Amino acid sequence: MTAVPVPLRRPSGRHPFPIEAGLAVRSFTPRLLVVATLIACGAAERLPLPSSYEAHDPAVGSQIAGLERKVRSLEDAGATGPELAAAVGELGKLYHGVQLLDSHAFTALEAAEDCYREAQRLDPSDHRWPYLRGFAEETRGDYEAAVASYRTTLATEPDLVPAIQRLARSEIERGSPDEAAALWNRSLELQPGFPPALYGLGNLALERGDTESAVDLLERAVAAEPGAGRGHYALAMAWRRLGDEDRAAQHLARASHTDFPLDDPLVRELAYLPAGSAALVQQGLIAVRAGEFAAAATVFARALEADPTNLEARKHLALAHVDAGQFERAEAAYEELLALAPDQAPARFELAQLLANRGQATEAIRHLTRATELAPDYKQAHYQVALLLDRAGRPTEAIEHYDRVLELDPAYAEATTRRATALASSGRPAEALEILRRRVANAPADAAAVQALSVVLRQQNRLREARTALEQGLRSTQFPADEEARLRTELGGILAIERRLADAARELRRAQQLNPTDAQTSFVLGMVLLDLRRPEEAARAFAAALAVRPDLTLARLRLAAILAQTNRCDEAITLLDDGRRFAANDPVFAQASQQLRTACAAQ
C-alpha cells in the first residue's frame, strides 16, 4: 500500500478527519477520466484489468499502472487467494480514494466496487473487502446492497463498531428502525457512551414520541461531542416538545449540519492514497476542515514540491499559514504566489488583509488598489481600501472607493454610513448629515448610522443635537447589547464634554455592563471617574481596559499614575515595565514613564 503519510495531531478520543460518504472538499483537479469498463472482474482466468487509463495527473496514473503491474506479477507467479486479493483490493482502494477527493468521479467508484467484489471472491475471510464495498454502495445510495455487504462483514468481524454504525444507518435509510436500534444498542455494549449510537437512538425515540428518553440520549450524545450540530438540532426539537423554549433556543444556536464523527481507519486512509500535487491539495483541505492548520500547511508545501507551478497549492498554503498564526510565512507564501501570478486579485486582497492586521497599512493599500484595478467590480476590495484610506486620513480618496461600492451594491448600508463620515472628514459635513439623517429615518435600528450621526454632530460642536440623536435612538429601538453599548459610550462621552459627569458615568457603566470587552468604554469611564475624584474606581476601570487591550498605552499610564499617587510605586513600576513591549518607540510613553519613576524615587 502506498498511503500518503500526513503528520497530523490526533485530538483526544477520535481521529480529526471523519471522511464520510460523498466527501468533496474541493473538486479534484485535474479530474481523472475513468472509463466505465475499466474492470469487469468476474470468472475470467486472468483478471481483466484495464488496458489503458487516461489520467491527467501523471502521478495518479503511475500509481494505478504500478498496482496493475503488481497484480499481473502475482498472477504470473501463480499467486491465489489472500495475496492476490490484497493486490486487487489495494487497486480498488486507490480508485475509491480518487472518488473521495472528487465526488463527481462516479466511474472511479464503480471501478473500486468491482475490485472489492473480486477481492472478496478471492479471499472471503478478509472483512475489509465487503466492508469497503458496502461503503461504496452506501455512497451510491444502494442501501439494500450496502446492508448485505455490511452483514457479510460482521459475519467475519462481529465487533467492528464502524461496520455496525454504517449498517444501522443503512437500515434507517431502507426503513428498518427496529434493526437499526438493535445495532446501536449492540455498539453501546461494545463501546459504552458511543455518541453516534446515542444520537441514533435519541432520534428514534423522538420520532416515536418518547421525548423524555430522547432528551436523555441526545444530552449524553452532545455532551460527548459538543461540536456535532445535528445533535444540538435534534435536542432543540426535543426540548421544544417538552415546552422548554429557553433550552431549545440554547441548542438551536449551536445547531449545524455537522454530524457525529466516526473513527473509521479503513475509510480514513482512502483519501490519502492518491499521489501527486492535485491530490495533496485535497488532502490538505481535509486537514483544514479538521482545524489542523499547521499540518495542512505541511501538506500544501509537499504539493508544491511535487508541482511548483500549482497556484491553488500556493494559495491554500498561504491561507493555512494565516489560520495557524504563522503570519510571516503567510506573507512570504503570498509574495511567492504573486511573483508567479501577479494578476491574482483575490490573493492581493488576502495579502492586504494580512498586512493591515500587522499594522502595514501603506502596503495593504497598495495591494488593495491593485486588486481593484485588476477586478474593477471587486466590491470587498473597494470597501476595504476605502476603510484603510479613511483611517489613514485620506477621506477624499476613500470616497471614490465608497462610491464604487455603492454603484455595485446600492443597498450596502455600512458603506453608505462610512461614506457619510468620510464626507464630513473631507470638509462636507452638511452632505454627511443629510445622508445620515435620511438613513436613520429610514432605518432607526441601524446603530452604526445613529452613532455616525452623533459623531458628525459632535465634531461640529453641536452637542445637544448629537445627544438628542442618541437619546431618541435608545428610547425608540431595542438594540443588540454590543450595539447599545457603543451608543451609550458615545452618549457618555458627550455628557462628559458637557460636564454632566455623574450622568456620563452612569451611561458608561451601563455600556460596560452590556459589553465588558470594549476597552474604549472602560477607558472613557476611567477618565470620567478621575474627574469625579474617585481614583480607586478609576483604577478599576483602567485595569478593565488593559485586561482587554494591554497595548492601550494611555490606560496604562493613567493607572500607573494612580498607583504612584496612592503609595503603590512598586506596582506602578511593574505596570510600566510590562508596557514597554507595546510602546517601545513611543516617546510619550517613555517621557511619562520617566516622570513617574522619578516621582516614585522621590517618595
Secondary structure (H, E, C), 203-251 = HHHHHCCCHHHHHHHHHHHHHHCCCCHHHHHHHHHHHHHCCCHHHHHHH
Residue found by looking up cell 464520510 in the block: 20
* Predicted confidence (pLDDT) at residue 31 exceeds the cutoff of 90: no
3-state SS class at 513 = helix
Q: Which of 119, 98, 89, 132 is nearest to 273 (CA)?
A: 98
The Cα–Cα gap between 28 and 34 comes to 13
User: Would you say 337 and 314 are in contact if contact means Cβ atoms under 8 Å apart?
Assistant: yes
Q: Cα-Cα-Cα-Cα dihedral of 414, 416, 418, 424, to 10°? A: -160
CA 89 from chain centre, in angstroms, equals 36
Which helix (H) or strand (E) element contains residue 130? helix 128-140
Q: Please, which pLDDT band fits residue 55 given cuts at 50, 70 and 90?
A: low
Report residue 520 as a C-alpha cell.
474604549
User: Would you say 519 and 552 are in contact if contact means Cβ atoms under 8 Å apart?
Assistant: yes
3-state SS class at 142 = coil
The Cα–Cα gap between 464 and 326 comes to 49
The mean pLDDT value of the chain amounts to 89
- Burial letters for 413-430: b for 16+ Cβ neighbours within 10 Å, e otherwise? eebbbbbbbbbbbbebbe
Q: Please, which pLDDT band fits residue 452 given cuts at 50, 70 and 90?
A: very high
User: Would you say 321 and 333 are in contact if contact means Cβ atoms under 8 Å apart?
Assistant: yes
Query: pLDDT digit string (tens) for 257-293?
Result: 989 999 999 999 999 999 999 999 999 998 998 889 9
Q: Which of 115, 98, 87, 114 is nearest to 33 (CA)?
A: 98
Sequence-ordered list of residues with C-beta below 8 angstroms from that of 599, at least 6 positions apart, any chain:
564
The predicted pLDDT at position 45 comes to: 64
The Cα–Cα gap between 495 and 507 comes to 9
**What is the mean pLDDT of the segment spanning 393-398?**
96
Residue found by looking up cell 470597501 in the block: 383
Query: Higher model confidence: residue 577 or residue 132?
Result: 132
CA angle, residues 353, 356, 358, in degrees to nearest 5 = 110
Q: Please, which pLDDT band fits residue 583 given cuts at 50, 70 and 90?
A: confident
Report residue 539 as a C-alpha cell.
483604577
Residue found by looking up cell 452638511 in the block: 430
User: How many beta carbons lie within 10 A of that of residue 7, not counting itself?
Assistant: 10
* Predicted confidence (pLDDT) at residue 166 exceeds the cutoff of 70: yes
Query: pLDDT digit string (tens) for 97-152?
Result: 988 888 777 888 888 999 999 999 999 999 999 999 999 999 999 999 999 999 99
User: Would you say 128 and 163 are in contact if contact means Cβ atoms under 8 Å apart?
Assistant: no
Query: Higher model confidence: residue 188 or residue 49?
Result: 188
113 φ/ψ angles, rounded to the nearest 5 degrees: -60, -45
The Cα–Cα gap between 424 and 339 comes to 40
Q: Which of 497, 486, 562, 572 is nearest to 526 (CA)?
A: 562
Q: Which of 341-345, 461-465, 565-569 has the lowest mean pLDDT?
A: 565-569
**What is the mean pLDDT of the segment spanning 225-238?**
95
Q: Which of 251, 180, 260 is nearest to 219 (CA)?
A: 251
